[in-house]
Amino acid sequence: MENIFNCNLVELQKIKNRAGNLSVVENSGSMPFDIKRVYYIYDVPGGSDRGGHAHKELEQYVIAVSGAFDIQLDDGKNKKTVRLDRPYLALHIKKGIWRETRNFTSGAICMVIASHKYDYSDYIHDYDNFIKYRKNE
Ligand code: TYD
């Protein structure tokens, strides 16, 4: 089972130019999973939080492409909070990790690059069920 200490910040390539910077995420040798889906969360009221959940199989790269927010990671034993506030840093959230996204700055955009298509049955929405799931693994 994965733990929070394996969920690290990955520095994405940054191509600098007088007209701005460009970062790339693509399926390549350095990508730890095959990209199946990209979605993004926006228009989140400043200061607000988004409820927690875990995934059984899905892995993600989470990027603050604009603004900032905190992600609290929990593997059932340990917790850590990572502040995402740079568009060239991706937090790799591995499978089986409970996450809560907090403290969105107003106008923040949270982009998620995911290893699977959307699948409701891959979610664990209830924290007590998550703890049971981790114990049975
Ligand atoms: P969810 O993953 O629970 O986001 P958060 O925990 O940040 O609120 O998704 C919120 C809602 O959006 C939920 O009803 C499922 C739906 N959804 C889709 O329909 N397709 C998707 O690709 C995703 C990620 C969510």
Q: What is the pLDDT of residues 35-60, one digit of tens each?
A: 999 999 999 999 888 979 999 999 99
Which CATH number covers residue 100? 2.60.120.10
Based on the residue annotation, tell me whether 55 is a catalytic residue of this protein.
no
Ligand 1 midpoint to CA 15 (Å):
31
Tell the residue number behind the tokens 């350095």, with chain if given: 30
Number of domains in the chain: 1
What is the rounded CA–CA span in Å between residue 71 and residue 83? 6
Q: What is the domain extent for residue 123? A: 4-136
Ligand 1 midpoint to CA 116 (Å):
13
Q: What residue type is 135 in one-letter code? A: K
Residues 74-106 pLDDT 10s: 999 999 999 999 999 999 999 999 999 999 999
Gyration radius of the chain over CA positions: 15
Strands 20-23 and 14-17: antiparallel
Write out residues with Cβ below 6 Å of ligand 1: 39, 41, 50-51, 53, 101, 118
